[in-house]
A and B are shown apart, each in its own frame.
Chain A
Amino acid sequence: MAYLDANATEPLLPAARAAALAAFDLIGNPASLHAAGRAARRALEDARTAIAQSFGAHAEGVVFTSGGTEANALAIAGLSPGRRVIIGATEHDAVRAAAPGAEILPVDADGVADLEALAQMLGASPALVCLMLANNETGTLQPIEAAAALCHRHGALLHVDAVQAAGRIGTHMTALDADSMVLSSHKLGGPKGAGALLLAPGREIAPLVRGGGQERGRRGGTPALACIVGFAAAAQVPRPDVGPMRDAAEAHAVRCGAIVLGGSNRLPNTSCLALPGVRADTQVIALDLAGVAVSAGAACSSGKVARSHVLEAMQAGALAGQAIRVSLPWNATWDDVQAFQDAYAVMAGRLAKRAA
């Protein structure tokens, strides 16, 4: 099988696996006073420091969570009291569902947030703006630094969902000047089950889950130590550049009739490929049956492929229901690219003919 669905989850990095396996043998609870507890706490705090260093944050601002969804929910619940919430139109459901009454910041046809619109939306009243660094469906990058400058000029906070960017492009919270940022372990090659909310110095939040006051009172519950240690290990692994392989796969798809959505300023591993007239779910199924794993839109819990709110926000019209996401993992090979190209050509030949 050619696994080209990294934006759903990355394969586990060997270094992350080794670190997590070793951490499973730490018997203590990081909250315990005794030697076993101290050893576990040492591993947890080492992971915290490593995450902070890898992503330009401060260790005391790192709150470990169960994953990106929880970290986004915690950030929005913690930072929004007393503030209007403005979210980008192409944000992930983890953000959209956590901010149900939010004002929506429009994007252009490439999915890039309209900062002129943001300037008009930001008034005198305090606001929390949520903007993702890279989009999960298209890989489109947002102008975070410019948005941060704008927000701060208006006294607003900027929360950045960096789940898809981390590990794929430089993701430095201080350089981006974000007030908070979210990471997910399994999206950067770590185990599923851990994530982090990174808070800028001095930024405090109330917990969603109080429990025993873990994570400095910001997230109750014993942390998933092995996952967190694996997460930190994954964050420190340099990645091969999959850009050339992505470009080759994409160029081939275009020769077969695909239209690339999301503009040119994108993650190096992601292609959003629309095949006019052919339903997205049919494409995903056809490729799956040919041994190529890709995805489309947002999967409902039933597995149904829903229309993409991301592509609809980009005014993609009918193509919003006809696009698949190809996202190369860190261990993609040229054989995978070849398998994709072969399967895509067969699929496009068969389906585009019937759609015509």
Chain B
Amino acid sequence: MRIVAAMSGGVDSSVVAGLLHEAGHEVIGATLQLYDHGAAVGRRGACCAGQDIYDARDVADRLGIPHYVIDAQARFQSAVIDNFADSYAAGQTPVPCVRCNMSVKFTDLLGLARDLGAEAMATGHYVRRVEGVSGPELHRAADPARDQSWFLFATTRDQLAFSRFPLGDMPDKDVVRAHAARLGLAVAAKPDSQDICFVPSGSYADLVGRLRPEAKGTGEIVTRDGRVLGRHTGVARYTVGQNKALGSASFDGGQRQAVLAVDASKRRIVVGPRTAGSDRVRLSGVNWLIDPPAASLRCTVKLRAREAPHPAMVEATETGARVHLDTPTLAAPGQACVFYDGDRVLGGGFIERG
């Protein structure tokens, strides 16, 4: 079939393109140019395209498949970077990769694939798409260390039906690299990408400070009852649940403190003991990969990308969902809360303020 392969220039998506080509499909490589690389690394004269785009093109040329670079800068700026900065400046902890998947990848690029008469779009995500009795299901990857299902909860059922994830069944990354080597792809030994792609310096706070200067202001670190324990250098450096970068506020009465809330309007970080979490979490922007349940649903939920699932009850509401955790926890507004039944993703949403 004619299939568009989303190629980032990394080893994973390169192997996807290579395997599909090897299987006899008509593969069309597409790479999104998301931001001006020269500007991101702050080097004058650097090309607007980063090395990854050239790597993707080289892989496609090597495979002998057509390859196109799609300009997605404006959309990435509005749907991902602006949201990232606004969210941090408002004291939340955004997940830009989810926003990017929702907008640039699974809406725009997938739309382009349809426009080009393709029957599917493949990506290098580590998730499994399983044909279920009532349509395709999204499942965790075979390799738990690589599983990216949490980042794809917002994929709609329609988008999922059009998508393919050839790496979901790979037992581990070594096998993927071995495929790359076997296919003669120069990226076989390329290091995995780290951090958020548009922050190559790794400092989110610096980027947020540049985009939203008001988020840079210093402020107080206080307890729930208003006692000032210390000062901070910008709300964008803090996430609910974190216990680093608290300085003199790290301990109160000998007890280790964690961030309970980020009050951007007062530039205040509220801290308290880690046990001060809540068992109620309110979600917005909920996407269901099953028919929305009429009654409360028993499942497990993940409130962070890397953590063990929590047992919970989830209740669909008109505007989103309510989650009742068996055990209280600190939920960071802006992060995703994804519902699982074993390995299967049932849906998810974005965590609202408590």
Q: Measuring CB to CB, which residues of chain A are less than 8 angstroms from any residue of chain B?
A: 281-282, 285-286, 288-289, 300-306, 350-351, 354
Contacts and interface: CB of A to CB of B under 8 A. Distances in A.
Main secondary structure of the interface of B (DSSP, over half): mixed
B325 to A, nearest CB: 43
B71 A282 contact: no
Given A302-B69, A304-B71, A285 B33 contact: no
A154 to B, nearest CB: 36
A303 B68 contact: yes
B49 A300 contact: yes
A29 B57 CA distance: 39
Nearest to A278: B115
Given A301-B47, A302-B49, A281 B71 contact: yes
Contacts of B54: 302
A304 B66 contact: no
Interface residue tally on B, bucketed by range: 20 to 34
Nearest to A354: B115
A289 B69 contact: no
B28 A289 contact: yes
A350 B116 CA distance: 9
A351 B71 contact: no
Contacts of A303: 57, 67-69
A304 B114 CA distance: 20
A302 B53 contact: yes
B293 interface: no
A4 B70 CA distance: 22
Given A282-B116, A301-B49, A303-B57, A288 B66 contact: yes
A354 B69 contact: no
A354 B114 contact: yes
Contacts of A301: 47, 49
A329 B53 CA distance: 31
Enumerate the 10 nearest inter-chain pairs by beta-carbon distance, A residue then B residue, closest first: A302-B49, A304-B69, A303-B69, A302-B53, A304-B71, A302-B69, A304-B33, A285-B68, A282-B115, A351-B115
Contacts of B112: 282, 285
Contacts of A281: 68, 70-71
B68 A302 contact: no
B117 interface: yes
Nearest to B54: A302
A354 B116 CA distance: 11
A34 B101 CA distance: 68
Contacts of B68: 281, 285, 303
A8 to B, nearest CB: 16
Contacts of A282: 112, 115-116
A300 B50 CA distance: 12
A286 B68 CA distance: 11
Interface in B37-76: 47-49, 53-54, 57, 66-71
Given A285-B28, A301-B47, A302-B33, 16 more contacts: A282-B112, A282-B115, A285-B112, A289-B66, A300-B47, A302-B47, A302-B48, A302-B49, A302-B69, A303-B57, A303-B67, A304-B48, A304-B49, A304-B70, A306-B71, A354-B114
B69 A286 contact: no
Contacts of A304: 33, 48-49, 69-71
Interface in B293-321: none
Given A282-B112, A306-B71, A350 B117 contact: yes
A288 B115 CA distance: 13
B271 to A, nearest CB: 46
Which of B33, B53, B115 is most buried by chain A, counting CB atoms within 10 A of its CB? B115
Contacts of B277: none
A286 B66 CA distance: 11
Contacts of A286: 115-117
A354 B112 CA distance: 10
A185 to B, nearest CB: 26
Nearest to A284: B68
Given A282-B115, A350-B115, A305 B66 contact: no
Nearest to A303: B69
6 contacts: A282-B115, A285-B28, A289-B66, A300-B47, A302-B49, A302-B57
Contacts of A288: 66
Contact of B111 (A289, A302, A306, A354): A354
Nearest to B71: A304
Contacts of B117: 286, 289, 350
A95 B114 CA distance: 39
Nearest to B68: A285
A320 to B, nearest CB: 13
